[in-house]
Structure 1
Amino acid sequence: MEKIKCECGHVNPLGTVLCEACGKPIEGNQHIDGNENKKLLNMRYEGSARRSKTYTSSFIDKIWTFFSSVKVGVWLIVIALIASALGTIYPQEQYIPAEAISRDPAVFYEATYGTTGKLYYQLGFHDLYGSWWYMILLALIGVSLVICSLDRFIPLYRALKKQRAKRHETFIRRQRYFSETEQVSEDEITKVKNRLRKQRYKISEENGHILAEKGRFSRWGPYVNHIGLIIILIAALLRQTPLLFLDEYVWVREGQQTVIPGTKGEYYIENKEFILEIYDESDGEIYKDALEMQGEAVAKNYQTNAIIYKKKEESVVGAEPELEVIKEAEIKMNNPLKFDGYTLYQAGYQLDEFDTMSFKVHQTDDTDKESLGTFTVDLTKPDQTYELDNGLRVQIDQYYPDYELDKGEPRSKTKFPRNPAFVFLIYPPEENKPEVSFVGIGRNIDPTNENQYKLGIADFSMRDVSGLTVRKDYTLPLFIIGAAIFMIGVIQGMYWQHRRVWIHPKGKNVLLAAHTNKNWHGLKQNIEKAITDTKINLVEDQQELEEEVKKKGGKS
């Protein structure tokens, strides 16, 4: 790496604009067309060498330069925002309603949303936040943040760490705030120095040269922001790992014991009872008008009385698992059940869902309808075939849990047994040719009108179903830490400023200069307060003077 040696003896990295030690402009920035350059210094990053602006020849240099660009980072964020917005048009795959007739995304999106839904699925937006390209996009934003920060932070830190009280005269004269005063006494300089110290400036001295500085830590605010954002991005990526994040939905029927999804079969839940309480007029006049406007029952409370089981480690593979109770509790809205890092939320319910349905068989021409046998169908997991004692065999050919006619074609609106209907095949004893019957609630159809046997509903049972959200989130602390660090950076950079005042003696004269990264008016007030009752002239804003000269058509 090439080095540039300043006349003060300090060796600067290639690409440095201002000497890190004395602030003198490096060769090439001192003169314009053979004349002394009087243009104000660009104090951004203290004129230090940035890798992206210095080394651009190798492949790694080009990658570094590309990602160090703020424009690239902004465009990556814009693309991510647009993609995230598109992902909210339709529900993501994991949020397909549990009652949907098909939870196959290829079927669900087209059936529910038509052509746009099909296109949405084909473009991969159905699983946007877990897709490989979205993860890569987030990773690229993280890379951009890291490289942008390193490209600027390291040279800025090096320049600020090495700054001296004694600066080159050119550095002083080409600051935005500058004044020159003749015949200034040592007492007046001491008075200004002490007043600046009272304003909580840190004073450094070198051979009569003075640097008053405060608020340097505010310069690191943007980089603290970047650290917070990087932590948030890492947390977002970790949410795609099942070890750290889980968000599943499970329906549990009363009396049912089922495995909790996402726990790899380790935990089970049993729904002992589902309870629904609704508001009525007895709850007070405050609810009366609202209930009348609503026109339907409004839930006051719905809860699941549940038991959580854990599978014993010594359970035999393939056999019914041996379970032990680890917790029994009521799961209510805003009162979830927590165990071993998992949280169960009461999220929904279904009332009066059919549980079982019993059918009886009799001969069509039997006026007394004497039963030839009965069988019971578990509507959640129906068997395929039912053998009766008299040799009759009944087989389920079609099962519609939630029956409806769609343009004359039978179908099931959902997969839950809310309005069950069946197409049965009835095999007489020792015969292979079946009779076909369609049976549902209020429906008993013989499509041929020649059936010897007829099916009828003998009895049924119903139960309530509880909908629970299963969640595990170990990434939340990372999000909180990242957000907290980000806000610290915002406050750090917003409410403090890095202010510096240089007092440069030149014989009996004094050059006074100042710089801040923002709030120039506040800095000027500090200086005005410090030089009160002294001969030292108040600094002038040379940038404003240049602009006024340009407006008048003159030269600075």
Structure 2
Amino acid sequence: MEKIKCQCGHQNPPGTNLCASCGRPLTEKEKHQKLADMRYEGTARRSQTYNKSVVDKIWNFFSSVKVGIGIIIAILVAASIGTILPQQLFTPAYSQGADAVREYYADVYGTFGSIYHFLGFHDLYSSYWFQALIGMLGISLIIASLDRGVPLYKSLKKQRVLRHESFMKRQRLFGAGTSGSPDALRQAEKKLKDMRYNVRTDKNGLLAEKGRFSRWGPYVNHIGLIIFLIGVMFRMLPGFYVDEQMWIREGETRAIPGADGYYLASESFKVETYSGEGDEQVFEDALNEVGTVVKNYQTNSILYKVPEGSPPGSTENLEEVKEYPIQVNEPLKFDGYAVYQMDFRLNELKSMTFALTNKETEESRGELTVDLDNPQRVYELEDGSTVELLGYYPDFSGFAENGAPETATPIPNNPGFLVRMTTPETPEGETSFIVIRETIEPFGDNEYKLTFQSADTRNVSGLTVRKDETLPILILGGIIFMIGVTQGMYFNHRRIWIQEKPDGTLLVAAHTNKNWFALKKELDQMTETASLPGYTDQQEAGSPAKKEGEKQYDVS
């Protein structure tokens, strides 16, 4: 596309509405407008000029304000739907794996829960399609800013003092006439400088300007939002953001999820409650009403690290980093990570001891202890008797349609055991299914049974592992965004042009991007000081003169 040559000789890029040099209108539409289009200084915008190639169409799509608003609405709608059901982080099945989470939504919320999970609303902010929306919003902000900001910057940077008379007459505030002072331009320049305008002069013209930086407020907003969105998207990358839960039992050493190479050992767990005695007597009445109130719960832990050079997954020769009592609001911190005490379970079953006894004589053939974390396959007893563990169901929930036992979770809340008992009297073996307070003999009455003797329990700590390397990025984006808001809301760009024609007539024009009342007030002060002609607000149809007796000038 060829450049547009103005009558003044200046070459303007295709799509320009106002000549960047003199301000003449260059298009038929612009020539028939009463007021000049000063939104982007009449500059050419790529999205309104080129529309042929695929790149042009993509650019034009994302530069559209309507498209940007549509993306924002889609994000808001998605975020709203994401609040209908709990996010997976707050479900009981979260720590049990993806399959357990899917089954949880289907069991608890039915068909709607299954669809909710399938569409990714259960983990909304980490879903790929939601991140794609965030990325599209970022692309829209970048393209829209470049499409408008770059031409505007070039136009404002190169604006001339002297403008064509048609440009002056098509400003919203315009006045023409003779001055009562022979040195009107000098007096106007001095007054404008007193009002903190940046004044430039050229021959018989003057341009006063201040507050140009306010024009960049929206673009600074965009920069802040883009940085913020980059921080949000970085959370999808490994190592930038960790928010994991881990349950660790007393005496157990486990790898810390999300913190490769680190292990945590729980030496003990304790819970302290308010007793209402001594210094706590002030709480006695409240405790009598509500009962037990937890004062403190903490995990006495040891942090370990895998030595350098160890093969992946190796747990040998772990190096102790430090001991630390993890309490509420007092997390264990290391290498950018923080481990918080969030929950606990008391008296979880650790092991169960049974005796193999004769149902009639109650004679014992010996005892066996089942480790509920790692049960043995076969237990050898006295006189060659054995107990074979055919099936272990940590949280027995019932029988399936085919009669097979099922477990709800891998946590030993309600252990169930399918066993085959063999003794010298019963060499072919007898089968029983044992749960707490109940024994089922599926093949008829047995001669022997497993009699419960005792159980060992332990406490379990619920910890949350967090790391957020994106927080500084999010804070930076928020600060920059607020700077842009301040620029755009509390400041404005004001310009005043004064030119003297050869016949002595003075032309006065003014423009601002907002707050016209303040600009008029300053223009009144300058007009009175320098005895300049009065002006008219041409946007107001049939606008009267600013002062009684002022002459109305034809600006057509």
TM-score > 0.5, shorter chain as reference = yes
SS in 2 for 1:57: coil
Partner of 2:549: none
Q: How far, CA to CA, are the matches of 1:315 and 1:154 in structure 2? A: 54
Matches within 5 A, 1:349-428: 349-366=344-361, 369-403=362-396, 412=407, 414-428=409-423
SS in structure 1 opposite 2:539? Answer: helix
Provide, for residues 502-530 of structure 1, a one-character-per-residue CA deviation record: whole Å limited to 9, x for no partner: 11212322221111111111111122222
Aligned to 1:143: 139
SS in 2 for 1:42: coil
Distance in structure 2 (CA, Å) of the matches to 1:398 and 1:112: 27
Q: Which residue in the other structure is 1:26 paired with?
A: 26
User: What secondary structure, in the 3-state scheme, does the structure 1 residue paired with 2:528 have?
Assistant: coil
Moved more, 416-425 or 115-124: 416-425
- Aligned residue for 2:457, secondary structure, equals strand
Secondary structure in 1 matching 2:364: coil
Write the distance in 1 (CA, Å) between the matches of 2:282 and 2:230: 48
Unaligned runs of 5+ in 1: 549-554
Residue aligning to 1:79: 74
Deviations 1:130-184 (A, max 9, x none): 3332222222111111111111011101110111111111111111111223234
- 2:194 alignment partner, one of 175, 193, 198: 198
Tell me what 1:552 maps to.
none
Q: Aligned in 2, Cα 1:238/1:316: closer, same or farther, shift over 3 Å?
A: closer
SS of 2:532's equivalent? coil
| Mapped pair 1:163 → 2:159 | yes
Which amino acid in structure 1 is aligned with residue 472 of structure 2? Answer: P
TM-score by length of 2: 0.90
CA distance in 1, matches of 2:409, 2:152: 63
Going from structure 1 to structure 2, the CA distance change for 1:68 and 1:101 (only over 3 Å counts) comes to closer
Per-residue CA deviations over 1:197-241 (Å, capped at 9, x if unaligned) read 112110011112111111101111111111111112212211111
Question: Aligned to 2:246, what secondary structure does the other structure show?
Answer: strand
Where does residue 4 of structure 2 map in the other structure? 4
CA contact (8 A) 2:306 2:315 kept: no
43-52 vs 281-290, greater mean Cα deviation: 281-290
CA distance in 2, matches of 1:273, 1:380: 18
* Greater displacement, 475-484 / 177-186: 177-186
Distance 1:3 1:346, change over 3 A: same
Contact in 2 for aligned 1:15/1:53 (Cα 8 Å): yes
Calculate percent identity across the aligned residue pairs.
48
The answer for the alignment partner of 1:110 in structure 2 is 106
- Written as runs of structure 1 = structure 2, the 5 A alignment for 1:254-269 is 254-264=250-260, 266-269=261-264
* Maintained 8 Å contact 2:353/2:453: yes
Alignment check: 8 A CA contact 1:99 1:415 kept: no
518, 524, 545: which one pairs with 1:522?
518
Q: Which residue of 2 aligns with 1:13?
A: 13
- Distance of 1:433 and 1:206 partners within structure 2: 114
1:321 to 316, 320, 323: 316
Matched residue SS, 2:531: coil
Shift of 1:196: 1.5
Aligned mates of 1:470, 1:30 — CA distance in 2: 62
What RMSD over aligned residues (CA atoms) do the two structures have, in Å?
Answer: 2.7
Deviates more, 1:533-542 or 1:488-497: 533-542
Which deviates more from structure 2 when the two are superposed, residues 65-74 or residues 187-196? Answer: 187-196
Change (3 A) 1:434 1:532: farther
In the other structure, the counterpart of 1:494 is 489
**How far off is 1:545 after superposition?**
2.6
Aligned runs of 1:129-528 on 2, under 5 Å?
A: 129-264=125-260, 266-282=261-277, 284=280, 287=283, 290-291=286-287, 295-315=290-310, 320-366=315-361, 369-403=362-396, 412=407, 414-429=409-424, 433-446=428-441, 450-506=445-501, 507-528=503-524
The separation in 1 between residues aligned to 2:96 and 2:8, in whole angstroms, is 80
Q: Evaluate the alpha carbon distance shift between residue 19 and residue 433 of structure 1 in structure 2; reply closer, same or farther with a 3 A threshold.
A: farther
Q: Indicate conservation of the 8 Å contact 2:15/2:48, yes or no.
A: yes
Classify 1:448/1:360 alpha carbon distance in 2 versus 1 (closer, same or farther; 3 Å): same
Summarize the Cα distance change of 1:61–1:289 in structure 2 as closer, same or farther, 3 Å threshold. Answer: farther
8 Å contact from structure 2 (residues 191, 529) kept in 1: no
Report the more deviating stretch, 193-202 or 102-111. Answer: 102-111
Report the CA distance between 1:286 and its aligned residue.
6.1
Assess if the C-alpha contact under 8 Å between 2:30 and 2:37 holds in 1: no
Q: 1:99–1:414: 8 Å Cα contact kept in structure 2?
A: no
Unaligned runs of 5+ in 2: 545-554
1:209–1:287 CA distance, 2 compared to 1 (3 A): farther
Amino acid at match of 1:340: D
Is 1:55 the counterpart of 2:50? The answer is yes
Shift of 1:315: 4.0
Residue 449 of structure 1 deviates from its aligned partner by: 5.8
The aligned length equals 541
Q: Aligned equivalents of 2:205 and 2:286: distance in 1? A: 77
The whole-number CA distance in structure 1 between the counterparts of 2:7 and 2:180 is 28
Q: Is the 8 A contact 2:416 2:435 kept in 1?
A: yes
Q: 1:65 matched to which residue of 2?
A: 60
What SS class does the counterpart of residue 47 from structure 1 fall into?
coil
Is the contact between residue 110 and residue 117 of structure 1 (CA under 8 Å) also seen in structure 2?
yes
